[in-house]
Structure 1
Amino acid sequence: MSPRRSVAEARNTKDMILTKAIDIASLDGLEGITIGRLADELKMSKSGVLGHFGTKQSLQLAAIRSVISQFRIHVVEPSMGRAPGLERLLALCDTWFDYVTDTGLPGGCLMTAAALEFDGRAGEVHDVVAEAWSDWDDLLRGELRRSGGDFDVDQALFEIVAFGPAVNRAVQLFGDRTAAERAKRAVRRVIGQ
């Protein structure tokens, strides 16, 4: 076997483990990711799983960082071509709600679930989740300020950020596929559109 093929196979195995871990976390939380469960579901040895990530926390961090990256690709990047201010704000919110409605994960938005799961815990996973949400708040706050609207920016931000988890809850608990449209209307109401 050539070294190049070996490296590619190792990368593929690591990606397969990470994908399974993200699926599990979307259903059972990041704490639901266990080395034993992954090994069983992937028909691997525990040492084989550990060999790619080292620790459960490293695997949790890889999972949450992967989800953050997907969020940027599916929500943030498509909106950045819009004019700063109101147009970009609405694009960010619209793509966010659409993404939350269909993340491609069996348990819905892992960022929403991770915020609830780790809000009262200390540690590196908490810090990564908190930083991602803080970055999202900062992005929305900046567009709210640039919009020049006649509203309290911090209050508008608070309300808008609450709509994402509300969409996730409506979709996941009740199968409500209209929640994103209601959230989009709610954002426009908050900013006086």
Structure 2
Amino acid sequence: MAQAPVDRRRLRGDESRRSVLAHAVDTATVDGLDGLTIGRLADASGHSKSGIATLFGSKEQLQLAVVAAAREVFIDRVVAPARARTPRGLVRVCALISDWLAYSRDRVFSGGCFFAATSVEFDARPGVVRDAIVAASGDWEDYLTVSIEHAMAAGELPLLDDARQLTFEMVSFLEAANTRSLLYSSAEPYRRAEVALRARLTALGADPELVSSIGAAPEA
């Protein structure tokens, strides 16, 4: 009989944690992970300071939880949809790029891509928080590289001999579009990134019709 109250408390704790993290991830894209304070999150989320302190323990633990939550959102908005609707190969590469652009352009977070924002904040600051950011960013780049390698194996990028190089170029275009869109309050950088990415893939021998899907809304 005592189990039910315990389960309810655990559920409430999980709900509180998710609510606080949702506010924290969004705040971090604008003010940085160092801009997170228990008082500010209490005001934004409607939870008590003591409750938030109990949930996370320390600022570093809060920051690590925020990085993990942002990673889950990224997978849900970028990786999982592309995997669900496309087979391996160039079509999936194009879907991943399109979903990344939508994730940034649609302002899933107020400050655009979480990892683009926090990478700049922590790039020269060794420690467990930077390690977590590096791991999440590395997972994304590794997955994109493997997807490109599948396209190469299928003969869809006949002039490409270095998948990792193409990943570097693609990520550079995407992050530049994210940063410039925020700086200039304009969607134009996304259009230019789409043009650049299509041109790069076409130059590598990709099917122009398939590449034209970059930036297009996915079919229902």
What is the distance in 1 between the residues matched to 2:43 and 2:102?
Answer: 34
Which residue of 1 is the match for residue 77 of structure 2?
Answer: 74
Q: Give the CA deviation at 1:59.
A: 0.9
Change in CA separation of 1:10 and 1:143 when aligned onto 2, cut-off 3 Å:
closer
In the TM superposition, what is the alpha-carbon distance from 1:152 to its structure 2 partner? 4.4
Counterpart in the other structure of 2:212: none
Structure-1 residue corresponding to 2:134: 130
Q: SS at the partner of 1:151? A: coil
One-letter code of the match for 1:147? A
User: Which of residues 138, 143, 149 is equivalent to 1:145?
Assistant: 149
Larger CA deviation: 42-51 vs 14-23? 42-51
Q: 1:8/1:75 Cα in 2 relative to 1: closer, same or farther (>3 Å)?
A: same
Does structure 2 retain, via aligned residues, the 8 Å contact 1:26–1:108?
A: yes
Report the structure number with the largest CA radius of gyration.
2
Cross-structure match for 1:101: 105
Does 1:155 pair with 2:165? yes
Partner of 2:215: none
Residues 97/44 of structure 1: CA separation in 2 closer, same or farther (3 Å cut):
closer
One-letter amino acid of the structure 2 residue matched with residue 102 of structure 1: D
Moved more, 22-31 or 32-41: 32-41
1:131-174 Cα distance to aligned partner (Å, 9 max, x none):
11111111121222222221342332221010121121122111
Q: Identity of paired residues, percent?
A: 35
Structure 1 residues 51 and 152, CA, compared in 2 at 3 Å: closer, same or farther? same
Residue 6 of structure 1 aligns with an amino acid whose one-letter code is: R
Q: Quick check: 2:111–2:117 contact (8 Å CA) kept in 1?
A: no
Residues 20-39 of structure 1: pairs in structure 2 closer than 5 A: 20-39=23-42
Superposed displacement of residue 28, structure 1? 0.2
Q: Structure 1, residues 39-81: CA drift from partner, whole Å, max 9, x if none?
A: 3444554322110011111111111111111111111111114
CA RMSD of aligned residues (A): 2.0
Q: Distance in 2 between matches of 1:164 and 1:74?
A: 15
Q: TM-score, normalised by structure 1?
A: 0.89
Range with greater deviation from structure 2 (16-25 or 92-101): 16-25
- Runs of 5+ in structure 2 lacking a partner? 207-220
Extract unaligned runs of 5+ from structure 1.
none
Aligned counterpart for 2:58 among listed residues 51, 55, 63: 55
TM-score (norm 2): 0.79
- Helix, strand or coil at the partner of 1:80: helix
Q: Which residue of 1 aligns with 2:117?
A: 113
User: Is the 2:101–2:174 contact (alpha carbons within 8 Å) kept by the matching residues of 1?
Assistant: yes
Displacement of 1:2:
3.8
Any conservation in 2 of the 1:160–1:187 contact (CA below 8 Å)? yes
How many pairs does the alignment contain? 193
